[in-house]
Structure formats: structure tokens, C-alpha cells
Amino acid sequence: MSVKDNFTPEEWDKVLSGPATAAAAILAASPSGLTGIIAEGIATVKAMKELAEASSAPLLQAIAASLKPEDQERHREERPRFKSFEEAKNAMLERLRSAFWLVQAKATPEDLAAYQQYVVGVAERVAQAAKEGGFLGIGGEQVSQAEKDTLKEIRATVGLQG
């Protein structure tokens, strides 16, 4: 039996979306210009693939298998509209919380720990993908205070401290 079989299809979609949801919370916390958004979007996809494939945890191996392009069309869903970036960030953290609870309830301790690190790892890479502030890439800071604060919220959401 596959790790994926522990979840209903709807639950599995939530688990799969956890890291991207954390990345979206980072994006909403400190919106970048067009080049920053593109860099952070690329970082999301790259980090999700690389970190899942690098893990030996069965859950992350199942996630890596589900990230294949042929499986992506099934995972598309209508995107909600938000009135503010703060509302978007809070909604993403709530979706992440829901995904984490599923993993906490249905996965092994090894898989839970791997999923926690995976979600935080993706979020950290996205936060570091583009400088915030500055002008035309000059000046600014690699990770804004809003992103640092959101990383703390993401860690807390998935049961990690610090």
C-alpha cells in the first residue's frame, strides 16, 4: 500500500498543495515587482521538485511522483480572490494548517517530520528568491521583515518553533 493511499483524493490534493500554499503566503506577505514574482514562482516549483526528490521519506517520494507534469492538470483548481494581501496570506496559512493536520493525523512520525521540513524549506527558498525593496535590483534586502515574520508563522503552523 502506498503512502498516498492513506489519504482520500481530496486530502491528497491538500497535502500536495501545502508547500505551494506556504510559498503563496510568502508572496502575499511582501509582494515583489514582476521580476520578483517570476523569480519567486520559479523558486516555488524548483524547490518543491528538488526537495521532494532529495528526500528518502516515503511521503515525500509519493509527493515527488505526484509532481510529474502528467498529474498536474488534475490538481488545478479555481483560484480564490482576496481583498488584500493580508487576507490572502491568512487564507494560505489556514490552508497550510489544514494540510498539516492531515499529515499529522495520517502519516508516520518520519513522514510528518519530513513534511514539516519540506514545507519550511520551500518557503525559505521562495523568500530568498528575490530582493525586496530597492530599485531595479539595486539595494533592498534578500528577505524582508514581512517575509521573516511569515516564515515564523509557517513554522508555527506546521508545528516547528524558531
Residue 153 lies in a domain: yes
Whether the per-residue pLDDT at 79 is higher than 80: the answer is no
In a domain? residue 1: no
Print the domain residue range for 37: 7-73+84-157
Residue 162: inside a domain, yes or no? Answer: no
Does some domain include residue 42?
yes
pLDDT digits (tens, 9 = 90+) for 3-19: 999 999 999 999 999 99
**The predicted structure's pLDDT at residue 78:** 60
Q: Which long-range contacts (CB under 8 A, 24 or more apart) does 123-127 make?
A: 123/19, 123/22, 123/23, 123/25, 123/26, 123/150, 123/151, 123/154, 124/151, 125/43, 125/44, 125/46, 125/47, 126/22, 126/23, 126/26, 126/27, 126/40, 126/43, 126/44, 126/47, 127/26, 127/151
Q: How many domains does the chain have?
A: 1
Q: pLDDT tens digits for 124-151?
A: 999 988 766 555 555 567 788 999 999 9
Residue 148 domain-assigned (yes or no)? yes
User: Does 125 reside within a domain?
Assistant: yes
Residue 6: alpha-carbon gap to chain centroid: 21
More confident call, 93 vs 132: 93
Q: Say if 2 falls within a structural domain.
A: no
Is residue 12 assigned to a domain? yes
